[in-house]
Structure 1
Amino acid sequence: MRVYEILKEYQIQPRHLEKIGKVYKVFSGNNVFALKETEVTKGKNLFSIYPFLYHKGFYRFVPLYPAKNGQYMILRDQKLYYLMPWLGSEARPVETNHARKMFRELARLHLLTSQEMEMDQTNIEDHFERTSGQWNKEMQYLDSWIEQCEQKWYMSPFEWEFVQYYHEFQKAYEYALRTLKIWKDTMLESKKIRTVLLHGKVSLDHFVFDDKGYGYFINFDESRIGSSYQDLLPFLSNTLSTYPMNGEDCMEWLNIYMKHYPLKETELLLMKSYLAHPGFMIQLLNRYQTRVAPNHELKYTKKIQQAYWKLKNIENIIMKLEMKTES
């Protein structure tokens, strides 16, 4: 078995293995290790990321063990493998406190790796034109859908739901475009942006705890340099994809983050614009048209209701961010 061959490179004789996704939980003697499999293209980043983090003074990540040849990666069949100590969920706090600690450390990661740089007028205008152009096309797509639905004598349950929600999604697009325009105008005045080292795949599963309760990031496979919102938005989007909620937890996490890494006006504008953008609705409409799933109509009618809940949850967060900005 390939895993046993790889573990020999670390001089480990396992007594038991458990596969959890792309991670092997390795039991050897009294020790427990995590052997992670990743793509070659992603694993290459790790060679530079960990020394970079050490240099910047950020140590809240699970370290890698070297193999007997001194290398930190083992290549087998176009896959890379690396070994870490296993930090399990036994010491994992309740979810809300887990997220608080993760957002605090994420802010520290961004703060310690932050760099300010100039952004010229052409790049600012190109980003605005490209993004707003795409969003306007999506709005036209929504318009074509509503026209088709309203021309029918009998709409399907999914189409009926879409007609009920159409104006709400339209307003979200209008807000996103309006905020993006304000971002462009503000950026043209400052022409400065900050980049950070992104974790790349922020989730509670990728922030683990030792037996003393200290939290550490794992899975830097998709780490890269970018804007801070690129770490924040996917986590928020996933969290808000649920039943209607008041958003207090999300705002608390954002406040913790911004306490340790305050966002500049342009960064907050861009984050609000992208957060408000309801592109998930376009994806849902495209999937609905394929009509390949069993019980297609029932499943997608539930999905569009869930999409509406997500829209309202995001709207709630946007309103709280607007109130915070005004105060």
Structure 2
Amino acid sequence: MQTLDSLKPVLHPYGVEPFFVEDNGKVCKVYSNKGTLAVKHISPQTGVDFVRNVQTLFQRGYNRIVPIYPTMDGRYAVWHEGELYYVMPWLNNQEKEDRFEKHQKLFRELARLHTISSQDVKINKEERETHYEQLTTRWEKEQQFLDEYVEECEKTIYMSPFQYHFCMFYKDVSQALKFSRKKLEEWYESTKDLEKVRTVIIHGKLSTEHFLYDDRGLGYFNNFENSKIASPFHDLLPFLSRTLKTYPKYYDECVEWLETYFQHFTVRNEERLLFMCYLAYPSSVIAVVEKYFHTPKRKRNELKSLKKLQRHYWLLKNTEYVVMRLDEIERKKKEAEEEEA
């Protein structure tokens, strides 16, 4: 619980005199002689990368991050009682668009963020080969597990509800797995001779909740504590997994958000292949089935397990629709390019 007195030592290096503090959990709203501010504390472990990544983006001219105020001696964070604190303006975050429009802006800004921070780094060919072999081996084992378990279930005279539904879902899960393995093969073939891979500064916790608006309606990223150097799809995949985990529906808006991103961040062929490979892979369904299989019968909660399987199957089907639409769009683009050539 932060109070006026506890924040005074934090705000002193900024030349800020606080008048009143509202503690909102992770962030404090501070009324002061320099306006209304947001004060947030982070752990020292994530603080170093956070400060470095934000400084890099500012230096490269990216200004769509909620501004982080420097202290009077130029620091972007203050160390106090074992934690790092940083100070920002308090944004009212008055949304002027609907959900679809807000997501469009979010993905457009994400593409800009990734473009400005992108850089090619050398990659060890042996490391890529090892990664490919390990992934291929693991996925082959998972396919084998699914094949053997569905046979075992079908031999059972009285299947449990979970087993019955798994048998119904098996074909879709298996097809998704085979699609991912096909894309992985294509990725490996297309990257055999490449010596570099592209990395960007990723936000690390992409969400519309972390995309705030100022009084002019401009959107800014905040909550950059999980930012790091990684593949751009480390931002997209977790976001899509959360968004698509709902009742079955045709997620055309999701396809449009991704196309907005691809229009503003030019994705290389090998990057798209790897993205599609990971997006399509039915890891969560397989994890649910494996957990059920390895849990002793007396400890299984049949209803809970079945509900979990159903939810992750819906995620699989929603993802499948997005993957197929993206694949179709890419195929039509290539056909159009070939016709022009």
Scaled by the length of structure 1, the TM-score of the pair is 0.90
Question: Could you tell me how far apart the structure 2 residues matched to 1:73 and 1:27 are?
Answer: 19
Task: Give the corresponding residue for 1:7.
Answer: 7
The Cα shift of 1:102 comes to: 0.7
What one-letter code is carried by the residue in structure 2 that aligns with 1:176? S
Identity %: 38
After alignment, is 159-168 or 140-149 more displaced? Answer: 140-149
Question: Could you tell me how far apart the structure 2 residues matched to 1:92 and 1:284 are?
Answer: 40
Q: Which residue of the other structure, out of 306, 316, 334, is the alignment partner of 1:311?
A: 316
Task: Give the corresponding residue for 1:159.
Answer: 163
Q: CA, structure 1 residues 85+320, in 2 after alignment: closer, same or farther (shift >3 Å)?
A: same
What one-letter code is carried by the residue in structure 1 that aligns with 2:242? N
Question: Could you tell me how far apart the structure 1 residues matched to 2:124 and 2:72 are?
Answer: 48
Question: Could you tell me how far apart the structure 2 residues matched to 1:67 and 1:291 are?
Answer: 58
Task: Give the corresponding residue for 1:296.
Answer: 301
The Cα shift of 1:71 comes to: 3.7
Classify the secondary structure of the residue corresponding to 1:91. Answer: coil
Question: Could you tell me how far apart the structure 1 residues matched to 2:250 and 2:331 are?
Answer: 20
Q: Which residue of the other structure, out of 93, 116, 119, is the alignment partner of 2:123?
A: 119
Task: Give the corresponding residue for 1:205.
Answer: 209
Question: Could you tell me how far apart the structure 1 residues matched to 2:167 and 2:222 are?
Answer: 43
The Cα shift of 1:133 comes to: 2.1
Q: 1:195-232 CA deviation, whole Å, 9 max, x = no partner? A: 11111111111111111110001111111111111111
Q: Which residue of the other structure, out of 209, 222, 225, is the alignment partner of 2:226?
A: 222
Q: 1:84-130 CA deviation, whole Å, 9 max, x = no partner? A: 22223323532211110010011001111111244343232122112
Q: Which residue of the other structure, out of 264, 268, 282, is the alignment partner of 1:264?
A: 268
Rg (Cα) greater in structure: 2
What one-letter code is carried by the residue in structure 2 that aligns with 1:202? L
Classify the secondary structure of the residue corresponding to 1:64. Answer: coil
Question: Could you tell me how far apart the structure 2 residues matched to 1:281 and 1:266 are?
Answer: 26
The Cα shift of 1:23 comes to: 2.5
User: What does 1:142-291 correspond to in 2, within 5 Å?
Assistant: 142-288=146-292
After alignment, is 308-317 or 109-118 more displaced? Answer: 109-118
RMSD of aligned alpha carbons? 2.6
Question: Could you tell me how far apart the structure 2 residues matched to 1:25 and 1:148 are?
Answer: 59
Classify the secondary structure of the residue corresponding to 2:29. Answer: strand
Scaled by the length of structure 2, the TM-score of the pair is 0.86
Q: Which residue of the other structure, out of 14, 33, 36, is the alignment partner of 1:32?
A: 36
After alignment, is 243-252 or 189-198 more displaced? Answer: 189-198
Q: 1:275-312 CA deviation, whole Å, 9 max, x = no partner? A: 011111133235546589x9933233222111111111
Classify the secondary structure of the residue corresponding to 1:15. Answer: strand
The Cα shift of 1:193 comes to: 2.1
What one-letter code is carried by the residue in structure 1 that aligns with 2:222? I
- Kindly indicate whether residue 326 of structure 2 is the aligned counterpart of residue 321 of structure 1: yes
Task: Give the corresponding residue for 1:75.
Answer: 79
Question: Could you tell me how far apart the structure 1 residues matched to 2:130 and 2:160 are?
Answer: 40
Please list every run of 5 or more consecutive structure 2 residues that lacks an aligned counterpart in the other structure. 333-341
- How many residue pairs match? The answer is 325
Please list every run of 5 or more consecutive structure 1 residues that lacks an aligned counterpart in the other structure. none
Q: CA, structure 1 residues 162+112, in 2 after alignment: closer, same or farther (shift >3 Å)?
A: same
User: What does 1:54-73 correspond to in 2, within 5 Å?
Assistant: 54-67=58-71, 71-73=75-77
Q: 1:66-96 CA deviation, whole Å, 9 max, x = no partner? A: 4566543233454322222222332353221
Question: Could you tell me how far apart the structure 2 residues matched to 1:12 and 1:139 are?
Answer: 62
Q: CA, structure 1 residues 120+23, in 2 after alignment: closer, same or farther (shift >3 Å)?
A: same
What one-letter code is carried by the residue in structure 2 that aligns with 1:195? T
The Cα shift of 1:259 comes to: 0.9
The answer as to whether partners of 2:93 and 2:215 remain within 8 angstroms in 1 is no
